[in-house]
Amino acid sequence: MPRHQNTAGQRAREAQRESGIKYTAALREATKAGTSLKAFSLRELLAECTASPQWTGVHPELDAEWAPRMFDSALLGGPAPYTTVLLLTGNLAAMGLSAEMRMESRNGFHAAVVACGGRRFELVLSQDDYITELCLIPGCER
């Protein structure tokens, strides 16, 4: 195979350099999708959050009374709480609305991990306004 040909491994390394996500996660996604991980801006995520109607599905893990108000996010791959996305926007506000983000992973209705500017965040999807900044050091347990 010629060196200049773009393989899944090369796309994964490029995604790792650009967004700071783990190489194995980037490779898994690049191999599965056949293309590099789709980037989106903080502006696009905020626009989707503020313009989308409330998601009316049934939360599989929580009763309707305890489930957070959510919208169906195409960028995050499914329903996401409004307040969690707004909290993420606040944490990344210093980077500006044009900051590029990448979806690293999603675990159903439990959590989603996004990377932006060398920072990684876990968005808890079963609670309102709950995110955790994840460690970037390889092998770190946080």
pLDDT digits (tens, 9 = 90+) for 101-133: 998 888 888 899 999 988 899 999 888 888 989
pLDDT exceeds cutoff 70 at 3:
no
Answer for the pair 44, 102: CB distance below 8 angstroms, yes or no: no
27 vs 128 pLDDT, higher one = 128
Query: φ, ψ for residue 88 (rounded to 5)?
Result: -60, -40
Q: Is 78 left (phi over 0), alpha (psi -120 to 50) or beta?
A: left
| Residues forming beta bridges with residue 112, ordered by sequence position | 106, 123
Which range (16-30, 36-50, 55-69) has the least confidence? 16-30
* Helix extents (H) in 34-124: 42-51, 82-91
- CB atoms < 10 A from the CB of 122, how many? 18
Give the per-residue pLDDT at 81: 92
Give the per-residue pLDDT at 92: 92
pLDDT exceeds cutoff 50 at 52:
yes
Give the per-residue pLDDT at 69: 86
Give the per-residue pLDDT at 35: 39
- Helix and strand numbers, DSSP H then E, in the chain: 4, 7
Distance CA 80, CA 107 (A): 12
Q: In which residue are the tokens 């040909």 written?
A: 5
Give the per-residue pLDDT at 24: 64
- Residue 1 pLDDT grade (very low, low, confident, very high; cuts 50, 70, 90): very low
Distance CA 84, CA 78 (A): 14
Token couple for 29: 């996604």
34 vs 81 pLDDT, higher one = 81
Give the per-residue pLDDT at 18: 72
| Residues forming beta bridges with residue 101, ordered by sequence position | 40, 116
- Residue 136 pLDDT grade (very low, low, confident, very high; cuts 50, 70, 90): confident
Q: Is 7 left (phi over 0), alpha (psi -120 to 50) or beta?
A: beta
